[in-house]
């Protein structure tokens, strides 16, 4: 009993510090310094939450840019890659099917299909495409929306983000934000 009371007191103090005070403090600091990021980088339109700039969304409309393929079916609770070996017959067959579907959807851009249009990301939820992957889709979107290919190319250019800190990663386009800008451009 002599050791039990001090151990119990220490446990209660540590639970209050580590389980309550520290999480409240870090949440408060995050909300103060980075409110958008702390709340999930949400995208809103007309006061409604329509998605997050961090998570890809399934797009079926021919008049919008398609994101990367998702092994998780764009379900944030089921984030996963395919975990298939690139030399496996199943993976090769899947890539051939995806290439055929992309060529059918984008007949004007069949010369070069960037890899990120047919392969999924590690999480299955990556919202970013290479600028080249977005540009391949421009003729299809132009035909579906009536916007000129030049207007769409300019839209892609405006939404292309460079390397982080000028050296990390590759240039990318957030498909969710690009599609929102495209919808607003059509109005």
Same-domain status, 80 and 16 = no
Same-domain status, 30 and 113 = no
Same-domain status, 50 and 18 = no
| Closest by CA position to 121, among listed 32, 51, 54 | 54
Give the pLDDT score at 185: 80
pLDDT in tens, 36-62: 888 888 888 888 888 888 888 888 888
Work out the pLDDT band at 118, boundaries 50, 70, 90.
confident
Same-domain status, 26 and 103 = no
Same-domain status, 72 and 162 = yes
Domain that holds residue 150: 40-186
Same-domain status, 130 and 160 = yes
Give the pLDDT score at 30: 94
Same-domain status, 115 and 65 = yes
Give the pLDDT score at 76: 78
Same-domain status, 54 and 131 = yes
Give the integer Cα–Cα distance in Å for 154 and 156: 5
The answer to whether the beta carbons of residues 54 and 40 sit under 8 Å apart is yes
Same-domain status, 138 and 88 = yes
Same-domain status, 14 and 105 = no
Give the integer Cα–Cα distance in Å for 76 and 58: 12
Instruction: Point out which residues pair with 107 in neighbouring strands.
Output: none
- How many domains does the structure of the chain reveal? 2
Sign of CA dihedral 140, 109, 101, 121: negative
Q: Across all residues in the chain, what is the average pLDDT? A: 87
pTM above 0.85, yes or no: no
Same-domain status, 12 and 70 = no
DSSP 22: H
């Amino acid at each position: 009993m002599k050791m039990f009371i001090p151990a119990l007191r220490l446990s209660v103090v540590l639970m209050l510090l580590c389980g309550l005070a520290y999480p409240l403090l870090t949440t408060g600091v995050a909300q103060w310094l980075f409110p958008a990021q702390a709340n999930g980088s949400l995208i809103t339109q007309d006061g409604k939450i329509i998605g997050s700039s961090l998570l890809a969304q399934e797009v079926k409309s021919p008049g919008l840019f398609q994101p990367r393929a998702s092994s998780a079916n764009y379900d944030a609770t089921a984030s996963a890659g395919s975990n298939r070996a690139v030399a496996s017959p199943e993976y090769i067959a899947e890539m051939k099917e995806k290439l055929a579907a992309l060529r059918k959807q984008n007949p004007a851009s069949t010369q070069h299909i960037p890899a990120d249009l047919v392969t999924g990301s590690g999480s299955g939820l990556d919202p970013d495409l290479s600028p080249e992957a977005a540009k391949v889709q421009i003729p299809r979107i132009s035909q579906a929306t009536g916007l000129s290919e030049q207007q769409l190319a300019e839209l892609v250019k405006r939404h292309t983000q460079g390397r982080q800190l000028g050296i990390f990663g590759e240039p990318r386009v957030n498909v969710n934000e690009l599609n929102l800008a495209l919808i607003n451009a059509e109005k």
